[in-house]
């Protein structure tokens, strides 16, 4: 590999700096035993926080953001992967502590990678990305803790990346999925994904009694705050909530009653350092449950140069579904 080869990457130079597309050399990349020619990345809420500086995500500078990537191995110093292998990388603190996916090349550790499932296109792997992996891990956690089909399953933040894929997965598995959203314009979209019915997000976030009528056999909550409190008090006996986000706040207040009177389970979902074997299982199930047609419907593709603008939009709740970044598509203003 020519260490002086030039490629493009989106770079944050220091705290408070504006992210911009720059020319880089292979020799600029951090150490790692696998060199990947990146094809696509994606935009997640955490990426928005990193790129805008509105969250303390980035640990060191300069930093190439992007917590997801997919591509082809160009060089490997590890027996686990060979030149030409198609791979996926999500989490493992890339885009935070280590250089991430908003780049045409990435050099990473082999243990961070999983094979791209044979039936999955690279673009669709990033339509799924961290958001879809989180959704699948949430579904798997609910299944392991007795997800009940006698009741509806509620998904909050339904029009976002995690919510959209969670609805599609649960619907495909035969559950009656209730989408909780504050975006009326997204209702048709949510029904296309498989939502059985839609409720306004204020239904869950309102004040209520410590325990209310049992309604939810399970829940995937991307919101937290008062919404999580509302879910717990209407959870069915033995029901579980997979908590995987904090769009509505990191704090929540509840009572012990859902836990000691109904056996409620609150399960934390963490996808950044998720074990490799669990990741492989999750990606295989994702490849089986999500069709190409569905992934096309929820996906918008943009070039590297659009990331700063889109980062503002995702933090302001103006992004629906999944944004895929084509790292090899550049705007004329890139430098």
pLDDT tens for 125-144 read: 999 999 999 999 999 999 99
The pLDDT of residue 333 is 36
**Lowest-pLDDT choice from 39-43, 177-181, 226-230, 250-254:** 250-254
Residues 6+ apart with CB under 8 A from 121: 292
Is 174 or 146 the better-scoring residue by pLDDT? 174
pTM assigned to the model: 0.93
My answer on whether 99 and 139 are in the same domain is no
The pLDDT of residue 334 is 36
Distance of CA 118 to the CA centre of its chain: 21
Of 77, 10, 42, 84, nearest in space to 295 by CA: 42
Residue finishing a domain among 268, 288, 318: 268
Sign of CA dihedral 206, 234, 209, 221: negative
Please state, in angstroms and rounded to a whole number, the distance separating the CA atoms of residues 33 and 82. Answer: 11
Token couple for 92: 């493992």
Residue 121 domain-assigned (yes or no): no
Please state, in angstroms and rounded to a whole number, the distance separating the CA atoms of residues 332 and 335. Answer: 8
Token couple for 169: 């997965």
User: Is-contact 74 94, C-beta < 8 A?
Assistant: no
User: Is-contact 84 1, C-beta < 8 A?
Assistant: no
Assign 331 a pLDDT band (cuts: 50, 70, 90). Answer: low
Owning domain of residue 58: 6-116+298-326
My answer on whether 80 and 20 are in the same domain is yes
111: domain CATH number is: 3.90.180.10
My answer on whether 50 and 79 are in the same domain is yes
């Amino acid at each position: 590999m020519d260490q002086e080869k030039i490629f493009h990457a989106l770079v944050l130079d220091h705290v408070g700096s504006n992210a911009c597309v720059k020319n880089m050399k292979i020799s600029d990349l951090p150490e790692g035993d696998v060199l990947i020619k990146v094809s696509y990345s994606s935009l997640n809420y955490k990426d928005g926080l990193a790129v805008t500086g509105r969250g303390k995500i980035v640990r060191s500078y300069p930093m190439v953001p992007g917590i997801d990537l997919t591509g082809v191995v160009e060089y490997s110093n590890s027996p686990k992967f060979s030149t030409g292998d198609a791979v996926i990388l999500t989490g493992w603190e890339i885009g935070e502590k280590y250089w991430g996916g908003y780049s045409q090349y990435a050099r990473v550790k082999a243990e961070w990678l999983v094979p791209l499932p044979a039936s999955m296109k690279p673009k669709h792997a990033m339509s799924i990305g961290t958001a879809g992996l989180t959704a699948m891990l949430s579904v798997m956690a609910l299944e392991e803790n007795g997800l009940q089909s006698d009741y509806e399953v509620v998904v909050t933040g339904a029009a976002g990346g995690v919510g959209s894929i969670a609805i599609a997965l649960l619907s495909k598995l035969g559950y009656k999925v209730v989408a909780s959203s504050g975006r009326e314009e997204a209702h048709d979209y949510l029904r296309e994904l498989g939502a059985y019915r839609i409720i306004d997000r204020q239904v869950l976030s309102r004040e209520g009694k410590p325990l209310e009528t049992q309604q939810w056999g399970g829940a995937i909550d991307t919101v937290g705050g008062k919404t999580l409190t509302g879910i717990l008090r209407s959870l069915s006996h033995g029901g579980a909530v997979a908590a995987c986000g904090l769009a509505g706040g990191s704090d929540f207040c509840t009572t012990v009653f859902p836990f000691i009177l109904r056996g409620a389970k609150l399960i934390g979902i963490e996808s950044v350092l998720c074990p490799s074997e669990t990741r492989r299982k999750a990606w295989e199930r994702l490849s089986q449950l999500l069709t190409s047609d569905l992934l096309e419907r929820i996906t918008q593709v943009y070039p590297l140069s659009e990331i700063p603008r889109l980062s503002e939009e995702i933090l302001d709740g103006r992004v629906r579904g999944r944004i895929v970044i084509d790292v090899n598509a550049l705007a004329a203003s890139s430098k």
